[in-house]
Amino acid sequence: MKYLGPHACEEALSRGELHSLWIAPAAFGRVAKLVSEARAAGVVVHRDPMESLDRRSQGLRHQGVLGEGGPFAYTSFEEVVATIQAKGAAALVLALDGITDPHNLGAILRSAAAAAVDGVILPERRSAMVNETVVRASAGTAGRVPVCRVVNLGRALDELKEAGTWIYGLAAGQGSRDYLDEPFDRATVLVLGAEGEGLHLKIQERCDGLLHIPMPGGIESLNVSAAAAVTLFRVLARRTTHP
């Protein structure tokens, strides 16, 4: 796994995932603290020309700082279920149905980390995996939230119901309720689908309710990462004002 940019490298170092660090000479001064902490942690630090970092990053933007470590550490689905059962009504989980754009996934993971989500569930097929682009799009925060991959998302939602959660799918259309009206006063799973396609029908059928975000400005829909952020913080706001 490559970590591109100082923020991603700082996050990886804090989690003990950083093995090697490459710094361009022009960046050394502004990341002196990162270099010092990396060396103290036993990370090998290289001082390399910017062109060398460009080759290592395969042209992706790195701001003169590039790290390498092991593969992204996914959480098991069983761990997410155990967390839900331990937290009860306060649990909050995201399930993503067919989000294939790594930039969208990274932005969603950043919002999930900011909202202290208890888990993000990805299907193994028709979904972006957590890679360098995702980590960069999350500003390095992807590792702060438990992410698990499941073979069958529908079956995973069934198991989450059995664990005591209420499944909300974000989808407009007949039968969809205004998300502003929901109290979110129980263990909640929010399911979001890809832009354009939305939630697959079999996933919608497994939801306990469908919600939509009102658009008074006449825009048809939000980008999925924006919709995730808006909905997550609506849940937190409702739980704060209506405990």
Alpha-carbon torsion angle 11, 15, 16, 17, nearest 10? -60
In the predicted model, is pLDDT for residue 2 greater than 70?
A: yes
How far, in Å, CA of 105 to CA of 128, rounded? 7
In the predicted model, is pLDDT for residue 195 greater than 70?
A: yes
Tell me which residue of 228, 107, 72, 95 sits closest to 153, measured CA to CA: 95
- The percentage of the chain sitting over the pLDDT mark of 70, rounded to a whole number, equals 99
> Region 134-151: what's the mean pLDDT?
89
Looking at residue 81, what is its pLDDT? 97
In the predicted model, is pLDDT for residue 242 greater than 80?
A: no
Confidence of residue 141 (pLDDT cuts 50, 70, 90): confident
Confidence of residue 197 (pLDDT cuts 50, 70, 90): confident
End-to-end alpha-carbon separation of the chain, Å?
41
> Region 164-179: what's the mean pLDDT?
91
Digit-coded pLDDT (tens) for 48-97: 999 999 888 887 788 899 999 888 889 999 999 999 999 999 999 999 99
Q: Is 183 left (phi over 0), alpha (psi -120 to 50) or beta?
A: alpha
- The percentage of the chain sitting over the pLDDT mark of 90, rounded to a whole number, equals 65
pTM of the model: 0.85
For each of the domains in the chain, give its residue range(s) and CATH number, in order of start.
Answer: 2-69 (3.30.1330.30), 77-241 (3.40.1280.10)
> Region 17-42: what's the mean pLDDT?
91
Sign of the four-CA dihedral 159, 197, 169, 143: positive
